[in-house]
Each structure stands twice: as C-alpha cells, then as structure tokens.
Structure 1
C-alpha cells in the first residue's frame, strides 16, 4: 500500500524529530565540558572516553538495529530507541558516580543508532519510490541544522537552570517525541515480519571475500581517518578549543564550532552534484577534500585569523565534511546489490568507531601537554596543548587522503 505524500509526511515527521533530538544530545558535551570536568573531577582523557562511548554504543548496534527494523518495523524499534536516549540523558543528569555517567552516554549512543534508519524505513515502506530521496535529504538537513542550533539552545538552558537540569530537561523533552511516534508512526504489514534469510557460512564467507577483495574495508578505514573535524570540533572539543586558542567568549566559540554542521547541510547537495559530474574521480575528490580540511585547520592554528574569517573557514570545513557522500558512493560501486545493506552497515560502523578512537586520543594529548595549571581542581589546558591535540586531526586527514589515492577501487 502506497500513501500520499502528506500522509507519508505525518508518518515521517516524528522520526525526523527523533533524528534532530539525538543530534542535540550528541553535541551537548561540547557546550558543557568545563562543568563536567569540574563536577566529576576528571581530566581531558576521561572526558574523551565519556564522549566516545556515544560512538561505541551507536556503532555496536547499527547492524542489529537494522535487522530488528526489518523484523518488527519502525514503530516499536524507534520508540524503544527514544526511550534509551531519554533514559541515558536522565541518568546522566542525575549521576554523581562516574561509571553511571559513562553508562548513560553509552545508552544515548545505542538509542541514537535507530533514528536515521527508522526514518528511512518508514519512507521506504509507505512512500512512492520517487519521494524517497526527498525525504532522506530532508531528514539529514533537519538533523544537521539541529546540531547547528543545539549549542545556543543548551547554553541558554544552562544559564537558566545549570548544566544538570539542562540535560534533564533535554531528556524529558524526548517523551514528547516518544508519544508522537506511538500516535503517528505505523508499520506497513506488507514489509514487516518477513522471513529473514539465514546467515549461513557460505553467505558470510562471500561477504567477507567481497569486503576484502573489493577494498571495502580499506574504504571504510581511510574514511574513518577523515572524521576528525566533525567528531572532534563539531561534537566535543570545538568550543573549548576556540575559547582558548582564539580567546573568544563562549557564545562566539559556540557559533564558530556549530557552524560546521550548517556548512555540511549546505555542502552536501553540492558534493553530491560534483560526485555525479566527476564520477570517474571520486576517490581523488575525497583526497582533495581531505587535504582541503587539513589546510583549513592548519591556517586557523598558524595564523589565528579574525572571528569572521574563522566562521567562514569552519563553514567551508563543514561543507568539505560531506566527503562521506563520496565514500558511500565508492561502497556502492564496489558491492554486489545482495550485499549492499550489510556492507553499508559495516562501513558506517567503522565510521562511527573512529569517534571512539579520536576523542580519547585528543584528550590524552591534552593531558600529555598539560602544564599543571588548574582552577578549583579542574585542569586548565593551554592554547599550545589544544593546538597539539588538534594537530592529531590534521595528521589523520593527510593519512586518509593519501590512503584513498593509493587504494585501487572501481571508478564507475
């Protein structure tokens, strides 16, 4: 049964809001780093581990969530995922014990993993095929714009009620989305509760052979090296880095950090168009984008330009982060259609796991470069320490760019 565009919109809307909601929870540590360090008496390495658990939880259940969606439908699974996000946020806001805070962040990551794929599942189940790309692009755009505005929203709540109540209110706000999903989302019986194929040894063997022979694992690995600007600056360390290195106030640093997501929202369609026009050179384009991101970060650290210029550069940095479109295009070109779903899951898992590596690594470098200065027991990291830590991203971008240039994959 195929529904009209308006009825599909009503089914899709709560899941789109869920995707936006999880982005707000995802970037929230970026705004409250100092408060978290002070409250839990931890250092940058511990903070990096805390934030990285979102990515670990997300990546570990990405493929299982997809299987459950195919088996039980988006209504039940997305509602459960929202509850995990709510529970994680509430637990984090009430935690005074560090392991509980770690668990809370992990739960938020697990719940967030179901947001985007639930929205695509609903559209795929109910909408005419010609509307699929439209709804997917709208979902991504709304999510990225939410991440862009999340910093201002969270900062405002923190000024009103403090960081813990701000997280609590964000968590409880998810109840509205949970109710909206129960009232609006509907499974299509035609596509639910189908017999799932068995993952026998022959299938797994062929899948692994494809992942190795067609360079899929290399595509995923080199792509993971390029996630630093988004995960490190956009999600976690960007505000504190810019406050220290550029000596800006929190409002300026928040805008300069979150503009990365706005740039990504604007740059995605352009990168997609270039991908279609220069389809013979996708891996070379990825390398160029990687080197471009490294150049932007280097210019910012070495020259320390004005606020307006950095905002413009970070907007461009966000646009270049749309390289992910090209990465998944390469995956499509090098994957038989009967392996496409699980292969996408594998590559996206590698992509998200990079956050589990990058964020603690940046924190560890900060602690290594710490000069011993603290305030009320909270370590204060120098501009030099932040610059060395962010240099890790620059190195990763060069490694990933060169990796794509050297990896032999199909061009068309």
Structure 2
C-alpha cells in the first residue's frame, strides 16, 4: 500500500511539473499565434503561480481536516478543465483563464503528497519527499525536447487537449487507490482547532518562507519560462532550446534526488545555504551567456530549494504540517508569480542583464536573513 501511495502521488506531481514548465518551450508559438509581448507572456505564464499561491492557505486547512485522498483529485479535475480552456483559447483573456484554472487545480499535487507522506513515511520524510519531487520533476523533462517534438506533431493546442484526459485519469486513480493514513494510524487531531496565526508567529518559519520566495521563485521563474525565452532571444531554434531546458530539468531531477539525502546527513540549513550560493553562480554564468554550465548549475542546485518545504515540516508540530508547508509554498509559488511577471517587465524595458541582476540581489538578501537558522533548534512534531 505504501508503494502505491508514493507512486500515485508522484504521478500527480509529474503532471503539475509538466504543466508549469510547458510554456518555456511554447513561448514562441504562443507569442506568434496570440500576439503576446514579453510582459503579456510573462504575466499569463505567471498566472499559474498566482492561482496556485492563492489556493495554498485554504488548501492547508483542507488537507489538515479532510485529507489528501479527496482534496487532491478534486482539484486535479479543475486543472483538466483549465487544460481544455487553454487549448481552445483564441484570446489572451481566455488563455489567462485556462492558465489560472490549471494553477488552482495543481495546487494540491505536492502539498497533498507531503501531508500524506508525513503520516505514511514519518521517519524518512525528507528523503521520501525529495524522491517524490525528483521523480515528479521528470515532468519538466517531458516539457523540454519531447514537448518540442510533440507540439510539432499535434500543435500546442492538441497537446493541452490530450493532457486534459491524462489529468482526469490520474485524478481517478488517486481517489480510488490511496488512503489518508496507514492502517491503524489515526488522523492527527487538533488541526481544526488552531488558527493560522500560530504558524504566522513562527519567526524561523517566516525566514524559511522568504528564502523560498527568492530561491524557489527564481528557480521556477527561469525553468518554466525565462530560461527558454532567453535562449530564443539569443537566436536558438525550438529543438536546441528544448535541449537546453532538458539539461536544466534533467539536472534538477538529479538535484531533487540527492537533496534530501544530503540534508538528512549534513543538516538542512547548511545544505540550503550552499546550494543557494551555487544557484546564484548559475545566474552569473547565464548573464555571461555560458549556457551549458549555467543551465546545469541552475537545475542541479536550484532543485535544492525544495528543502525549504522539508525544513518547514521540522519547524511545526504534526497537526500543523500542511499549514506550515503550504505557507512556505505560498511564498515560493507567489514569488514565482512576482518574479516571472516582473522579469517580463524588466526584460521589456532594461533587458535580460538587469533582470538577472535583480534575481541575484533578492537571493542574497534572503540568504542574509536566513543565516540565523544555521544555529540548530529542536525539531518539533
């Protein structure tokens, strides 16, 4: 049963990663077919993250009370509807609506998994959670070269219409194939009687959340749009761009897979700090147009941002795991929205160099605020 739980939730997160990443390969087609400029493209793509972020706080309460077995597949059906709307869109407004629905629908793919895993795999939570993310992040590989080839065969609209059926199937499998807790393990009590204020008063958690905004937000803003758009800007064709994004996403898979292992042995805070600095180096290499090394560093070390979520679990009691992790995820996904949209505006006026400099400055600020967490604290829950 535990293996089935892991496999089915990984399928859901795989789809989430595919959808969030797809526009990086489709940027040129969307801009051409619907007449989108850089700011509109950045805003529309970032709506996935705005909608995703808006769902996080109510989602945390639902997951703590109802559980992921019902909540995750219900939201996946919303994503399937959004995929149809996106695929049929003939205007910017309808495209934006579809993108937003996909964002809401995918909001529980990761958080539902982490809530379930906190109960099914309590002793290996960091390792299992990052394994989920590493395997699910192969959705980003599908949204690279394979998507570039698939959209040549089906068109970008056909890809989204086909994808909607796949999402419905996975939602059904999750609903029928999982349960909230292992046999004999009761549902945690107390989550329904506390307010969000208990989480918001946790100063260490807020420092982690801001690092999630800068680190996770930059990682996803680049991977799911601007790393592809930048390569197009430099004159590369679709398959070459797809190959670079495949390197980014493939490196990210490797980073996700080893991040939990390293954090369990070296300490989450130290590993997060080192990986964020190496990710910053990747942004510098990108500015220098050293694309191969840059995409390798950005993917491999950027993936370690997922440890902000596992660290959140360490800082809250068990009945607040979903609220704590969704708060951190709210900052990371909200940061992706802000940075993806903001980069579009900066790129359109000042160019890519200024946009990359802005990402670096924000990341260094977040790291300076994060430094107190290098001092050990007692694990809760």
TM-score (norm 2): 0.85
Preserved CA contact (<8 Å) 2:278 2:297 = no
Residues 266 and 165 of structure 1, relative CA distance in 2, 3 Å threshold: same
1:365 aligned to 346, 350, 364, which one?
A: 346
**Structure 2 residue aligned with 1:18:** 12
Instruction: Indicate if the aligned counterparts of 2:121 and 2:128 stay in contact, CA closer than 8 A.
Output: no
Q: 1:319-344 CA distances to partner (integer Å, 9 max, x unpaired)?
A: 21144255346545655666554222
Of 136-145 and 83-92, deviating more is: 136-145
Kindly indicate whether residue 269 of structure 2 is the aligned counterpart of residue 282 of structure 1.
yes
The RMSD of aligned alpha carbons is 3.0
Matched residue, 1:411: 376
TM-superposed CA distance for 1:411, in Å, is 2.8
Give the CA deviation at 1:277: 4.6
Q: 1:81 aligns with which of 70, 75, 83?
A: 75
Conservation of the 8 A alpha-carbon contact between 1:334 and 1:409: no
Structure 2 residues without counterparts, runs of 5 or longer: none
2-structure distance, mates of 1:278, 1:243 = 39
Match of 2:158 in 1: 165
Contact 2:86 2:95 in 1 (8 A): yes
Equivalent residue of 2:4, what SS? Answer: helix
| Aligned partner of residue 226 in structure 1, secondary structure | helix
Does the Cα contact within 8 Å between 2:25 and 2:241 map onto a contact in 1?
A: no
Contact 1:151 1:258 in 2 (8 A): yes
| Cα deviation digits, residues 109-138 of structure 1 (max 9, x gap) | 11111112333444555x475575665344
Taking structure 1 as reference, are residues 25 and 360 closer, same or farther at Cα in structure 2, changes over 3 Å only? same
Name the residue aligned to 1:402: 368
Q: 1:170 to 1:397 in 2, by over 3 A?
A: same
Tell me which structure has the larger Cα radius of gyration: 1
Cα distance in 2 between the residues matched to 1:269 and 1:66: 25
Q: CA deviation at 1:28?
A: 1.0
Equivalences, count: 375
From the superposition, tell whether residues 124 and 394 of structure 1 become closer, same or farther in structure 2 (CA, over 3 Å): closer
What's 1:258 paired with? 246
Give the Cα separation in 1 of the matches to 2:280 and 2:121: 41
Give a deviation string over 1:197-221, Cα, whole Å, max 9, x none.
Answer: 323xxx555544x32xx34323322
| TM-score, L = length of structure 1 | 0.80
